[in-house]
Amino acid sequence: MSKLSYAKAMNKALAGQLEADPAVCVFGEDVGAGLAGLTLGLQERFGPRRVVDTPLSEQAFASLGTGAALAGMRPVIEFQIPSLLFLTFEQIANQAHKISLMTGGQASVPVTYVVPGSGSREGWAGQHSDHPYSLFAHVGVKTVVPATPSDAYGLLTAAIRDDDPTVVFAPAGAMAVREDVTWELGPVPLGEARVRREGADVTVVAVGHLIYDALAVAEELADEVSVEVFDPRTLFPFDWPALDRSLARTGRLVVIDDSNRSCGIGAEILATAAEEMRLTAPPKRVTRPDGAVLPFALGLDRALQPSREQLRHAIRAVMK
Amino acid sequence: MTTPHEPGPAPLIGTAPLIGTAPDLRTAADRYRRMRLIRGFEELALSLVKSGVIVGGTHPYIGQEAVAVGVCAALRSDDLITSTHRGHGHVLAKGADPKRMLAELAGRATGLNRGRGGSMHAADFSRGILGANGIVGAGAPIAAGAAWAGVRQGSDRIAVSFFGDGALNQGVLLETLNLAAIWRLPVLFVCENNGYATTLSAAAAVAGSALGRAAAFGIPAETVDGMDAEAVLAASISAAERARAGGGPGFVECRTYRFENHHTRDRAFRLAYRSAEEVAAWRERDPLKLASTLISEDERAAIDAEVARILAEAREFAEASPAPDPAGACDHLYADGLRPRAGAVP
């Protein structure tokens, strides 16, 4: 039985799509060398015209992908660090995302943006440790945060095949995960959540790598409370019907989310549950602080990230 | 969760054999006709802004017609363009239907973009018009990407990026010049230098020059009289055919002038950033006057009458067209027909 690593899963997904569709191509910095692991070996296999090393011109190559997409290609664009999404927010949110609507449906922009190693990598400080998935969910760009290697494979595959711009966040906190895969890997549809652990008392929505913390805490508290761990997988479009089904069973909600607190996806999940779903206790969320900028020193970096300790408290609070 | 989506655009990849001038802009009379159409269209748009038929205003192209027509005359029908906030001229020059263009400006369901784009986002993919753009310089990398795709697809079509002097100071344009040069992309960069980025003069805003920008990236460039469609055409043919033959990008700076304000809204402000003498001097060099010297007086009169008819029909079409159904305000947001949640829950 082989253990599939997260980076290898993404690599397989990319290779599979490059193989399957001549319109698929890759742009990014150091993609030829495969620095981030995602594209390792792909330039040798598919050539430098399909796996294209770009100069350090993120804004230009982000929109170059849009132009190529408008002319029939299906580009995948790798950004080495999550903060580059701030730099290219104009190209993604204001250009690629709006073209379908603004042209009255004349055109679509099938571009996939991938960030291998989003969120804190520990010790990379203020400008390399962001996790801005909520921004993209807010503007309505399709946004996925795979937690496991097989989901990374499946969601990246689905994102590349999707006809709209999609951002794939591969959390640094999940990239060390290896998974026993005994089934044939396949695409995972965008917009479908997955219950990682069934439970009766409280639903913990955990985003990306935080499912591992949620699963550990659920196990730890198993004698005390029955925790359901809900992995949304796609943040936009969010699988609201699945959350509704989970809350119909549990009636209690905790969200653990690596966003800053204000206007993060956790806020949206709580608001929607409060407005539209069955809750028997006030919900809780565990997030980064408002406006967090991760400081360098390891203790400071970790102090601002959602923790198991905070999650335990939140679960106990909603159970009271 | 999903609703049926209307069919997407026809495939862009064409193989039109014609090299050189666009089939419908082959003669000086053709070019005069298109310039007259743009001028008349823009004047009509001004009056429709005033009367409230067009909401939100426009960025009038009046004075710059020779640039759009001169460049587009050098293109094939399968070549692609990206345009600017002042884009009506480019869109019409590349062959969009004036009726549907005017309907778009008026926010009608029959518009090019079904009323979803308006003046600043007009697009017609069936004509290779990838869209006007509300952000200065933003169309350049999109054109470069379309050009890159053409090479990948084995096509010899080219892409044109229209932009103004204001874009010369946008980082993304400079990044794009670099990418186009290192990858020898078939892109024609057309700098429409009308002397002002809104109210700031190019003299005050641009260090170095447009040609200096191109030269820094090793891109062949020339400056032409942007009031003379024939001069623009000659420079564009040379750059376009070089790009088409694999010679990499070209850059043409067209010195031109907008006769109107930056935006229709500015009419109310009586802004004093340009002297009356300066405007009058440029108006003396009206590109339509110049183009009309190449055809007979009879021909000119016949064309003017023909254009007037076309515009009257366009106006009638736009005004008679229905507004889009507000229930469909989120239609086309996603290619797969995904319906976002509504803003209020019953």
Q: Which residues share a beta bridge with B3? A: none
Quote the ipTM score: 0.95
Query: What's the pLDDT tens digit per position in A23-79?
Result: 999 999 999 998 888 999 999 999 999 999 999 999 999 999 999 999 999 999 999
Average pLDDT over residues B248-257: 98
Find the CB nearest A275 among B148, B334, B345.
B345
Residue A35 or B325, more confident: B325
The strand ranges marked E within chain A are 3-5, 24-28, 51-53, 74-78, 112-118, 142-144, 166-171, 178-180, 194-197, 202-206, 227-231, 234-236, 253-260, 284-288
Interface of A with B in 120-139 (CB under 8 A): none
Element (H or E) spanning A310, and its range? helix A308-319
pLDDT on residue A1: 53
Check pLDDT > 90 for residue A266.
yes
Task: Name the band, by pLDDT with cuts 50, 70 and 90, for residue B6.
Answer: very low
Check pLDDT > 60 for residue B5.
no
pLDDT on residue B192: 98
Check pLDDT > 80 for residue B225.
yes
Distance between B279 CA and the closest CA of chain A, angstroms: 34
A97, A128, A131, A209: the catalytic one is A128
Check pLDDT > 50 for residue B23.
yes
Distance between A142 CA and the closest CA of chain B, angstroms: 9
Average pLDDT over residues B82-103: 97
pLDDT on residue B20: 54
Measure the CA–CA gap between B107 and B319, rounded to whole angstroms: 10
Instruction: Please give the mean pLDDT across all residues of chain A.
Output: 97
Subunit contact B149:A72, Cβ cutoff 8 A: yes
Q: Are B82 and B59 in contact (CB under 8 A)?
A: no
Average pLDDT over residues A117-133: 95
Q: Residue A317 corresponds to which tokens in the numbers above?
A: 């609070």
Task: Name the band, by pLDDT with cuts 50, 70 and 90, for residue B272.
Answer: confident
Helix ranges (H only) for B87-209 are 88-93, 98-105, 139-152, 171-182, 202-205
pLDDT on residue B21: 64
Average pLDDT over residues B68-74: 97
Interface of B with A in 58-87 (CB under 8 A): 80, 82
Measure the CA–CA gap between A238 and A242, rounded to whole angstroms: 9
Chain A residue with the nearest C-alpha to that of B133: A95
pLDDT on residue A101: 97
Percent of chain B at pLDDT > 70 equals 94
Report yes or no: A237 at the B interface, CB cutoff 8 Å. yes
pLDDT on residue B3: 34
Instruction: Please give the mean pLDDT across all residues of chain B.
Output: 92
Report yes or no: B130 at the A interface, CB cutoff 8 Å. yes
Query: What's the pLDDT tens digit per position in A174-203?
Result: 999 999 998 899 999 999 999 999 999 999
Distance between A293 CA and the closest CA of chain B, angstroms: 26
The DSSP result for A41-86, as a single string, is THHHHH-TTTEEE--S-HHHHHHHHHHHHHTT-EEEEE-SSTTHHH
Question: Count of CB contacts below 8 A, A vs B?
Answer: 169
pLDDT on residue A94: 98
Q: Cα A249 to the chain's mean position, in Å?
A: 26
Helix ranges (H only) for B51-138 are 65-72, 88-93, 98-105
Instruction: Reply yes or no on whether A128 is catalytic.
Output: yes
Report yes or no: A320 at the B interface, CB cutoff 8 Å. no
pLDDT on residue A314: 98
pLDDT on residue B97: 96
Query: What's the pLDDT tens digit per position in A224-251?
Result: 999 999 999 999 999 999 999 999 999 9
pLDDT on residue B231: 96
Q: Which residues share a beta bridge with B173? A: none
Check pLDDT > 70 for residue B8.
no
Report yes or no: A34 at the B interface, CB cutoff 8 Å. no
pLDDT on residue A262: 97
Check pLDDT > 80 for residue A211.
yes
Task: Say how many C-beta atoms besides its own lie within 10 A of residue B302's C-beta.
Answer: 14
Average pLDDT over residues B141-145: 98
